[in-house]
Amino acid sequence: MDFSQYESKSSQEIKEVISGLMKVGGMPNLVDFFPILRPLDPQGLASQGKVCVEKLFAIFDSIIDQRLQKRAVSSSYDIDLSTQNDVLDLLLDINFKDGHELSINDMKSLFMDLFVAGTDSISTTLEWAMTELIRNPKKLKITRFELMKCMHTKRETLNEHDIPQLPYLQAVIKETLRLHPPGPFLVPHQAIHDVEVKGFNVLKCAQILCNVWAIGRDPKIWSNPNAFMPERFLESKIDYKGQDFELIPFGAGRRSCPGLNIAHRELHTMLASLIYNFEWKLEENMRVEDLDMEEKFGLSLPKNIPLMAIPA
């Protein structure tokens, strides 16, 4: 099913559900500090989250049921009407072979992880990147010039193999992730044993939140930390692959984000496509200085007021 059509009912429905889950997941919850209150759900966060999950699972149920019906028809008439060789087909094949190994509920939980983690974070980062570039026309011009030079040489569309030849585009993505990490506290981690970190005692089983938003704006690490300056990465080997702790929007080590590689590909190719194929302007009578740069609090940090840019 194609969810990319912005005006379609299905795309808006799934967008609203995922936004609701991200909002609920990022709100401070009293029961984390006072577990005795958990059955009461004083803020209603558990019930709100349950409603969102049920709506998302209902969408998945509908898609899975449609595919099962097509597969049934295909089997009955000995023709191939349904096999699309996509992830859903592969998982259904596993389910039919051994339902105990992978149940329908397991599939829906996997899809929830893929949709929630793989859509909101990418779109949020792209929106911030476009906002920062529109606010900095000279840097947008440099990025477009680099892309035009690459495309003129290749005479074909951009693909992931071109990313290493686009140092300024890479710097734009790094600078966006520094200023606007999609997960400002990453995901909660837990200490597996007592440890001392620079004089602080972290007890076994303590929940740990890493404030990568603050790390990215630390004046001890970054010069002029609140300014959008992709150039700072042109002469720096700092990367977000988890080896440089100054920049860890995807975390580090064995518990780093499993979606890093696909995010790396999508962010560069999608941003390049938007910049290369279109000129962008703001709504009538709006100046770049008037762009709202406030963040909306949640598990991720989207813009408080969505960017409204017009392609030309």
Identify the structural domains of the chain with CATH numbers, from first to last.
1-102 (no CATH), 117-312 (1.10.630.10)
Rounded to an integer, what distance in angstroms lies between the CA atom of residue 221 and that of residue 216? 8
Closest CA to 29 of 15, 16, 48: 48
Report pLDDT for 54.
94
For 104, the 3-state DSSP assignment is helix
The answer to whether the beta carbons of residues 143 and 42 sit under 8 Å apart is no
For 291, the 3-state DSSP assignment is coil
R_g (Cα) of the chain, nearest Å: 22
Q: What angle do CA 203, 25, 133 make, to 5 degrees?
A: 105
The answer to whether the beta carbons of residues 303 and 19 sit under 8 Å apart is no
- C-alpha torsion angle, residues 49, 53, 54, 60 (rounded to 10): 170
The answer to whether the beta carbons of residues 271 and 233 sit under 8 Å apart is no
Angstrom distances, CA of residue 89 to CA of 86, 108, 121: 5, 13, 26
Report pLDDT for 118.
78
Ranges of residues in the chain with a pLDDT under 70 are 4-7, 76-84, 153-156
Q: Each residue of 12-31: b (16+ CB within 10 Å) or e?
A: eebeebbbbbbbbbbeebeb
Number of residues that make up the chain: 312
Report pLDDT for 150.
85
Alpha helices in 77-136 (DSSP H): 87-97, 104-135
Report pLDDT for 153.
63
